Amino acid sequence: MTRSLPDPQVLIGHRRDGRPIFPVLGASSDDASNDEVQVTLTQKQLNTLMAREKDQGGRAAVRGLVERLGFSNAVALEEYVGAQRQAEEQQLTEAERREQELAEREKAAASRESAAIAREREATCRALLAGFGATGTDLDDAVVLLRAPDDADPAALQEAAEDLKSRRPELFGAAPAGTRTPAAPGGAPASVPPPRPGSTDRAPGSAGLEMARRRGLIPPTA
């Protein structure tokens, strides 16, 4: 009994992944069914096959890279990369902290230097104004009222002090302009002390004549 073979180009089903199933022929090397068979696929089937091959190729490439880097699997590689990133972030944070501390130290040093310059300038001004006669609270006021730039040289400070003394002489022990020295009691000039109570004006030599009379050297009527 001769049994006819099925047509090798007739589709008899599909596999689970969508690939077609055709009859497998070619028991004899002389059988014409051993020739290459042209398979017809839909566009969807072709896309599925290409995506599968691409995914398999990508996984194979990743496995090859992981092995070349000396890791057992992709998870170990991910853990290593994560640890490296965390270490880099910690180093960056430490560098930023050191940079901030350096900036703060520089700012504090600049502030101390500015304060020292201000103290030195104030001491110079006080010594200069004291030389012009300012003392006590007047000296304090004169330091505040002194008109001179912060970077003024000694000549400029001298000129500013002279200008202040001409404008505010009362700060340097002088009477303000327009004031008059009060007269001495009794109508005497201010430069002459007032007469003592009970004293009377006497002629020159009267004290000697009085002493001679008391001693009886001259008559009482002389």
Query: Which of 30-34, 101-105, 193-197 has the weakest average pLDDT?
Result: 193-197
* One-letter amino acid for residue 84 of the chain: Q
Residues 6+ apart with CB under 8 A from 19: 45, 49
Task: Report yes or no on 211 lying in a domain.
Answer: no
Same domain, 117 and 163: yes
Contact 146, 125 (CB under 8 A): yes
Same domain, 168 and 125: yes
63: tokens are 């496995």
In this structure, the answer to whether residues 97 and 161 fall within a common structural domain is: yes
Q: Quick one: pLDDT at residue 44? A: 78
Say if residue 95 is in the same domain as residue 52.
Answer: no
Q: What is the pLDDT of residue 207?
A: 66
Give the per-residue pLDDT at 209.
Answer: 64
Residue 78: what pLDDT? 83
Assess whether pLDDT exceeds 80 at residue 120: yes
Domain-terminating residue out of 172, 191, 208: 172
Residue type for position 29: S
- In angstroms, rounded to a whole number, what is the distance separating the alpha carbons of residues 77 and 72? 8
The per-residue pLDDT for range 41-97, each reduced to its tens digit, is 677 776 777 777 777 777 777 777 777 778 878 788 788 888 888 888 888 788 888
The contacts of residue 87 (CB under 8 Å, 6+ apart) are none
156 and 122 within one domain:
yes
132 and 101, same domain (yes or no): yes
| pLDDT at residue 76, as a whole number | 82
> pLDDT category, 195, cuts 50, 70, 90?
low
Residue 203 lies in a domain: no
- Residue 89 in any domain: the answer is yes
Q: Which of 7-21, 68-82, 150-164, 188-202 has the lowest mean pLDDT?
A: 188-202
Q: Report yes or no on 218 lying in a domain.
A: no
| pLDDT score recorded for residue 34 | 55
Classify residue 118: in a domain, yes or no. Answer: yes
Asked whether residue 7 is assigned to any structural domain, the reply reads no
C-beta separation of 127 from 139 below 8 A: no
153 and 120 share one domain: yes
User: pTM here?
Assistant: 0.36
The domain in which residue 17 lies consists of 13-29+39-68
Q: Is 222 exposed, middle or buried (0-12, 13-18, 19+ CB in 10 A)?
A: exposed
100 and 164 share a domain? yes
- In this predicted model, what pLDDT tens digit does every residue of 11-30 receive, in sequence order? 777 788 878 887 766 555 66
Mean pLDDT of all residues in the chain? 75
> What total number of domains does the chain contain?
2
Is 199 domain-assigned?
no
Residue 104 lies in a domain: yes
> Is the pLDDT at 106 greater than 60, yes or no?
yes
pLDDT of 221 reads: 58
Co-location of 140 and 106 in the same domain: yes
